[in-house]
Each structure stands twice: as C-alpha cells, then as structure tokens.
C-alpha cells in the first residue's frame, strides 16, 4: 500500500504539529482533513494529574482534541503522528477508544505514522493488532524523522 502524495503531505503536517504537544513522554498530533481542507488539529495533553487517576484518564488523545473542535467531521480523514521521547517518529495507530469515537463522528479513514513508515485503514470496524502495517524503505524521504 502506498499513500498518495497528498496523503503523505498531510501526514507530514501531522508530524510537524507534534511539536505543539506539551506531554513529556510522548507527543501526538492529529489533523482532520476533508476535501483538501483542514477541519481541525489537535495534540495530546494532560487532563489529570498522573499520580491521581488511572492511566486511561491521564490525557486527552490528539484525536479527541481534534474531534472536539469540529461540529461536523463526517467524511473527514484523520492523520495521526507520534514523536517519541527521543524525537523519532513512532507508532500512532488510533487506540480503540479513539477509533470508536472517530467512527461515532463519521470519520472512517485513518492514516498514521509507524517507525518505518505508515499505516492506513478504513475504520469500518475497530482495528486490532493483526492489522498489516506498511513499512517502506522510502519513509525517510517523506520526513527526515522517520528512522
């Protein structure tokens, strides 16, 4: 599977906005795009003190933040990127909770970074671990941060 030039450009934009995230351990950026227009962007951020709540309630995920900023994201595609602590591109497949939220809002296509490339999937159902990820030798040509 290859991404189109346009899809790669949006994914690169998602990588670039990861820098806006203030989360110390990982930075995730998400962009909702429809018909060539950015509907919203989001980065992950803390919502609770990590020492006070369960892991799952510590942060707002970037996808959630982007979704909250749009009244009608129906038909949009979400691009999600993650930067690791060391500043390399990491795996950013939406978690099951975000996938469910995206589906609920009519966002049926997700494109995300992987350490050696990217993944893309139509969200007709929840994606689990068995999903095949595309790895490409040319990923570093897309963005210098790809390992």
**Residues that bind Zn ion in the complex, under the rule CB under 5 A:** 61, 95, 98
DSSP strands (E only) in the chain: 27-34, 37-43, 45-46, 59-60, 77-83, 89-90, 109-114, 117-122, 134-135
**Considering the complex, what minimum distance in angstroms separates the CB of residue 44 from Zn ion?**
8
> Can you read off the two tokens belonging to residue 31?
């962009």
Neighbours of 91 (CB within 10 A): 15
**Considering the complex, what minimum distance in angstroms separates the CB of residue 62 from Zn ion?**
8
Closest among 57, 81, 60, 82 to 69, alpha carbons compared:
60
Nearest-CB residue for Zn ion: 98
Residue placing its CB nearer to Zn ion in the complex, 39 or 110:
110
Residue placing its CB nearer to Zn ion in the complex, 61 or 105:
61
Residue placing its CB nearer to Zn ion in the complex, 18 or 142:
18
Residue placing its CB nearer to Zn ion in the complex, 27 or 61:
61
**Considering the complex, what minimum distance in angstroms separates the CB of residue 137 from Zn ion?**
29
Distance from the Cα of residue 48 to its chain's centroid: 21
**Considering the complex, what minimum distance in angstroms separates the CB of residue 30 from Zn ion?**
9
Neighbours of 23 (CB within 10 A): 17
């Amino acid at each position: 599977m290859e991404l189109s030039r346009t899809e790669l450009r949006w994914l690169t934009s998602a990588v670039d906005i990861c820098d806006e995230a203030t989360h110390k351990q990982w930075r995730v950026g998400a962009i909702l795009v429809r018909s060539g227009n950015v509907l919203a962007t989001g980065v992950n951020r803390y919502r609770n003190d990590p020492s006070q709540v369960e892991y799952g309630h510590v942060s707002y995920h970037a996808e959630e933040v982007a979704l909250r900023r749009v009244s009608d994201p129906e038909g949009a595609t979400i691009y999600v990127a993650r930067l690791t602590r060391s500043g390399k591109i990491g795996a950013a497949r939406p978690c099951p909770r975000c996938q469910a939220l995206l589906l609920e809002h009519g966002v049926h296509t997700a494109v995300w970074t992987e350490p050696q490339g990217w993944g893309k999937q139509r969200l007709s159902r929840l994606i689990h671990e068995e999903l095949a990820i595309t790895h490409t030798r040319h990923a570093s040509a897309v963005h210098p941060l790809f390992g």
